Structure 1
Amino acid sequence: MAYRDFAAAEFSRRSLLRGGAWLTAGAALAGAPMGRMALAQGNSDVAWRNVAAMVDKYVGERKVANMVAALGWGREDPTYIARGNLALGGSTRADADSLYRIYSMTKPITGMAAMMLIDDGKLGLDQPIAEILPAFSNMMVQKTYDGSVTDLVPAERPITVRHLLTHTAGLGYSIVQKGPIRDQYVRYGVVPGQVSRLPIPGLGREEAIQGLDKFANNLARLPLVLQPGTKWSYSVSLDLMGRVIEVASGMKFDEFLRTAIFEPTGMTSTWFRVPESEVDRFTTNYGIMGGVPLPMDPAASSVYLDEPAFPFGGAGLVSSTRDYDRFLQMLLGYGVIDGRRVMGETAVRVGTSNLLPETATTKGTWIEGQGFGAGGRVNNDAYGWGGAAGTVGFVSHKTNLRATMMTQYMPSEAYPIHEGFPKAVLSDLAAMQGA
C-alpha cells in the first residue's frame, strides 16, 4: 500500500478529531410533531427509507466498507440498518455489535460523567477547577491568539467546570492551533488522540505523555489561547475533564466510566483499548485519498489494540452501534434504562441543555447560532456530537427519538455524512407524519 500517497493537505490535523457540523437539521428535528411517527417502531427498516438509501449508496459505491445505523423511539428496541463488511474485500458482515472508533463521540459520555458528579455534589457546574487541580490556579493567556507564547497576560477569571464542558475554557488543541503554541502542545505531550501505528504523511508521529495526571500538569504549564469564558473554541477540555473526574470521584477515570455508566447502562462493548478477544468484530479505518478509501488503521494491527497513554476523555473510545444506542436510550429516559436509574433526571436535563456562559460568543465557529451542553452540541432540543471517523449520534427528547450512525473513514469532511444522516432522518420523519 502506497501510504506515501496520502497528501498532508487531505489529512490536516485540524480535521482529525473534531466532531464536525453534524446536526444542521437539528432545529427542524426538534420541532417535528409526533404525528404518526409511531409507525416507525419495530425492527424493520421500511419506515427509514431515506436512511436506508443513504447507507445503500455509500456502501454500494464502495465509498466506505460498511455503515450501521440505529434508530429508536423512547424505551423501544431500535431499528438497525446494517450494510457492508468490516473491511473492504472482507467477508465478515458489519452489524450492531461491530466495533468503531468513535473519537469525539467520547465527549458526551465524559460530559455526562461530569454531570453525575455535579448531581452528587462532588463537583459544581461553576466551580473553579483550581479547587480540584491547584496547578490551574494562576493561568496566563496569549495576548494574540496563536501568537507569541511569551507575550502573555493573566487570566481574567478562573476556568470552571462549565468552561470545560462547553469548550469555553480558553484551552487549545494540537489539531486546531498553529505556530509556537501548537509546538508547545506537542513538546509537552498534550496531544490526546491516536490514529494509526502506520507512519502516514500528514498525520505526524506525535506522542502523548503517559498518565492523565501528567497530561493535566503539563497542560497547566502552557498558556491559554483565549480568556476563559469568552469564546467557544474546540479544545482538550474534555480530556482535562477526565482528570477532574478522577480527583473528584476518587477513582481512575476509565474505572469511573465503566462502573458509573457502561455497566449499569449495559454497554458491554465500549473500551479505550480493544481486547484481543474482540478483534474479530473490529472495523478497519480508511483514509480517503482522491475519493478512494485506503486502509490507514487495519483492525488486526490497530493502534487501538495498544494501551493508550491515558484514557482520552475527548476522543479515545471504541464502541458499537448497540452500545451507543443504549447510552442515548438512557439519556432519552432521563437517566433510566431497562427500569434502572443510571443518572439523575436533573443531571440529564441540564447536561443536554445549553450550558454556554453568557459571556461566551460562538460567532465564526462551527456552532454559531447554536448551543452547547455537556460535551455535545445543542440545537434547540437535539443533543449530540460526531466523531472524526464518520460516526454521529444524537437524541431529541421532544420527538422521543435517538439516532446513531457508525462507519469508518477519515477525514470526516471527505463525505457529508455528519450532515447527511440527520437530514435523512428528518426526511423520513416528514414522510411518517404525512403517512
Structure 2
Amino acid sequence: MAEMMLARREFVRSIATLGALGAMPPALLAKAKEGDWRVVRQLFEATLSKGKIPGMAAALGHGTAPAAFLNAGTIASGSRAAVTPDTLWRVYSMTKPVTGMAAMMLIEDGDLRLDQPVADFIPGFAKARVLTDPDNSLDSRPANGMMTIRHLLTHTAGLGYSIITKGPLLQAYNEQGILPAQVSRTKMPGVPDYPTAPSLAEFADRLATLPLIADPGARWSYSVSLDLLGRIIEIAAGRPFDAFLQQRLFDPAGMKNTVFQVADKDVSRLTTNYFALPTGSFPVDPGATSIYLDKPAFPFGGAGLVSSARDYDRFLAMLMGMGKIGGKRIMKPETAKLGMSNLLPDGADTTGTFADGQGFGAGGRVVMKETPGGAGIGTFGWGGAAATIAFVDPKRGIRASGFAQYMPDAAFGFPTDFSKSVYASLV
C-alpha cells in the first residue's frame, strides 16, 4: 500500500512537471494506474490532455478509511504550482450541506426545531406573502402556512435566487442586495452591478420584506434559503455564523483550510477560476488577485466557502462516520442520519428541478431512486457552481469529492463525468 501511495504521488508530480502524459516514463504510468479509482485517473488524464482545464483534484475513500488523493495539473494556466490535496478551491454551493449540518447540530442541542417557524427568529417572516403574477408584478397574497427550518434546509421555503429567479422579483432582489455570492473583482458581462447587503442581519431583514414565489412547503425551488439559515444559526447559537462553524465543525473536524476569506499567507495555494467557452476558457477570478482575498459582506451560508480536497473529505468522512471523525464526536449518529435523510415536506413538488424524483436533506440531495452502476439509495451530497462535487454513499460504502475550477459547471462536463468515473472504478 505504501508503494502504491508513493506511485500516486509521483504520478501527480509528473503531470505537473512534465506537462504531458506522453512524457511520463512508461513504468511510472503503469504503476499510477494500479489499485482503486482507475477510471477516475483515466478521466483526469483525458481531461488534462484536452487543455481546457489546468488542474483538478479528487479525494476518494472507502468508509471512513483514509482517502486517496488524486491531483493533476497546476492551480492555473501557465503556473508551475502543482495541485495538491491542500490546494484551495471555491466550492460555492458545496457550502450548503455544511450550513445544513450546522443547523442540525443546533437541532440536536435543542436550540432549533426542524419544524419551527422562521418568524421565531426573524419576525418579518410572520406575515409572508406570495406572488400572484410573478412574470409581471410584485402583486401578492397572504402565504398559506408558515416558513420553517425544514423548508430552509430543503429549498421549499418559497424563496428566490438571483441566479434563477426572473421578472420583477429578480429586480427587487438585486436592488435589495440579495446577492449571496461573490465571483470576481472584475465587472462580469450581464451581471447586475448592485452592492450586496452589508451584513447577514440586514440580508435577512431585507429578504423578509419581499414576496415569496410559492407557499412554504409547496414546491422545491433553488434559493437563498441556506444563506438565511446562516442568520438563524447565529441568532440561535448566540455567536456569529462563521464563528459557530469554526468552533463546532471546522476545528474539531480538523478542517484547517476551509474559510470564507483566504489569508495572505495562503494565496499561493488558491486556484484561478475560469469562465468556460466552447473553444477554451478565460480567467474570471485569478488566484493572485481573487475576490476571496477580501473580507466578504457576510459569511454566505449558501455559496461562500473556499476549501481543499483534504478538508472537504474530512467533512464527508465525518458524515460517513455518522457524526464522528478521528475519535471526535461532532454530532450524534441520529443527528447525522437525519440530516442525510429525505426531509422534504409532504406534497412538495419537485417536478423539473434539481431534486426531481429524489429527496433532499440538510442542504444536499438524497438519492431515493437507484440506477444500475450508480449511486446507492441514501447517497447524500451536492455540487458547486465552479465544477466541484461531493457525496457520501453509505450503501456502497464510499465517499468522493471532485474539484475543477470553471463556470458554468456543465460546460466541460467534469462533475457528471467525475461521478460516473467513481462508480465505474468500483466495477
Instruction: Return the TM-score normalized by structure 2.
Output: 0.89
Letter in 1 for 2:423: L
Contact 1:45 1:81 in 2 (8 A): no
Task: State the 1:199 CA deviation.
Answer: 1.8
Describe the shift of the 1:395–1:128 C-alpha distance in structure 2 as closer, same or farther (beyond 3 A).
Answer: same
The Cα shift of 1:45 comes to 6.2
AA matched with 1:92? A
State the match for 1:18 in structure 2: none
Aligned equivalent of 2:56: 67
Give the letter aligned to residue 159 of structure 1: M
Name the residue aligned to 1:327.
315
Matching residue within 77, 82, 91 for 2:66: 77
Q: Give the conservation status (yes or no) of the 8 Å contact 1:44–1:79.
A: no
| Matched residue SS, 1:355 | coil
Paired AA for residue 419 in structure 1: T
Q: 1:197, CA displacement in angstroms?
A: 0.5
Corresponding residue for 1:140?
129
Please, which of 219, 232, 241 is the counterpart of residue 220 of structure 2?
232
Across the two proteins, how many residue pairs are aligned to each other? Answer: 387
Helix, strand or coil at the partner of 2:307: strand
Q: What do residues 74-123 of structure 1 show as CA deviations (whole Å, max 9, x unaligned)?
A: 22111111100011111010010000000000000000000000011110
Q: Contact between 2:134 and 2:168, CA under 8 Å: does it hold in 1?
A: no
Superposed, which structure 2 residues align to 1:211-250 within 5 Å?
211-250=199-238
TM-score, normalising length: structure 1: 0.87
Q: Which residue of 2 aligns with 1:391?
A: 388
Shift of 1:258: 0.5
Deviations 1:56-80 (A, max 9, x none): 1112211211110110112211111
SS of alignment partner, residue 309 of structure 1: coil
SS of equivalent residue, structure 1 residue 402? strand
8 Å Cα contact 1:122/1:249 also seen in 2:
yes
User: Could you say what secondary structure the match of 1:421 adopts?
Assistant: helix
Cα distance per residue 1:169-210 (max 9 Å; x no partner): 000011111111000000001111111001221233332111
Matched-pair contact (CA < 8 Å) for 2:112–2:236: yes
Match of residue 155, structure 1, among 143, 149, 173: 143
Verify: 1:428 aligned to 2:425, yes or no: yes
TM-superposed deviation, 1:396: 1.0
Equivalent position of 1:34 in the other structure = none
Distance in 2, matches of 1:64 and 1:202, equals 24
| Distance in 1 between residues matched to 2:33 and 2:238, nearest whole Å | 45
Name structure 2 gaps, 5 residues minimum.
1-31, 368-376
Secondary structure of 2:171's counterpart equals helix
Instruction: Tell me whether 1:295 sits opposite 2:295 in the alignment.
Output: no
CA-atom RMSD in angstroms = 1.2
Deviation, 1:367, is 1.6
1:429 counterpart SS class: coil
Q: Are residue 115 (structure 1) and residue 100 (structure 2) matched?
A: no
Match of 2:93 in 1: 104
Q: Which segment is superposed worse, 269-278 or 137-146?
A: 137-146
Structure 1: 4+ residue segments shifted above 6 A: none
In structure 1, stretches of 5+ residues that fail to align are 1-42, 431-435
Partner residue of 1:409 out of 385, 406, 415: 406
CA contact (8 A) 1:140 1:155 kept: yes
- After alignment, is 46-55 or 106-115 more displaced? 46-55
CA distance in 1: counterparts of 2:391 and 2:96, whole angstroms: 12
Separation (CA, whole Å) in 1 of partners of 2:397 and 2:135 = 42
The answer for the alignment partner of 2:415 in structure 1 is 418
65-74 or 213-222, larger mean C-alpha shift: 65-74
Moved more, 43-52 or 354-363: 43-52
Tell me by how many angstroms 1:416 deviates.
Answer: 1.7
Matching residue of 2:153 = 165
Per the TM alignment, residue 134 of structure 1 is displaced from its structure 2 partner at its CA by 1.1
Deviations along 1:226-257, one digit per CA (max 9) or x if unpaired, are 11100000000000000000101001000000
Partner of 2:10: none
Query: Which residue of structure 2 aligns with residue 54 of structure 1?
Result: 43
Question: Structure 1 vs Structure 2: percent identity of aligned residues?
Answer: 50
Q: State the alpha-carbon separation in 1 of the partners of residues 414 and 236 from structure 2.
A: 37
Query: C-alpha separation between the residues in 1 aligned to 2:413 and 2:82?
Result: 24
Residue type of the partner of 1:56?
Answer: E
**Distance of 2:407 and 2:213 partners within structure 1:** 27
Q: State the alpha-carbon separation in 2 of the partners of residues 90 and 392 from structure 1.
A: 24
Q: Tell me if structure 2 keeps the 8 A contact 1:276–1:305.
A: yes
Q: Which amino acid aligns with 1:51?
A: V
Distance 2:296 2:265 in 1: 18
Residues 195, 375 of structure 1: alpha-carbon distance in 2 compared, 3 angstrom cutoff: same
Query: 1:255 aligned to 2:252?
Result: no
2:390–2:402: 8 Å Cα contact kept in structure 1?
Answer: yes
1:359 shift after superposition: 2.3
* 1:46 Cα offset (Å): 3.1
Q: With CA pairs under 8 Å and 6+ residues apart, which has the higher RCO, 1 or 2?
A: 1
Listed one character per residue, the Cα deviations across residues 382-429 of structure 1 (whole Å, up to 9, x for unaligned) are: 100000000000001112211000110011110222221111111111
Per the alignment, residue 344 of structure 1 pairs with 332
Aligned with 1:314 (options 291, 302, 310): 302
Cα deviations across residues 255-285 of structure 1 (Å, max 9, x unaligned)? 0000000000000000000001100111000
- Equivalent pair of 1:332/1:395 in contact (CA under 8 Å): yes
Q: How many angstroms does 1:368 deviate by? A: 0.8
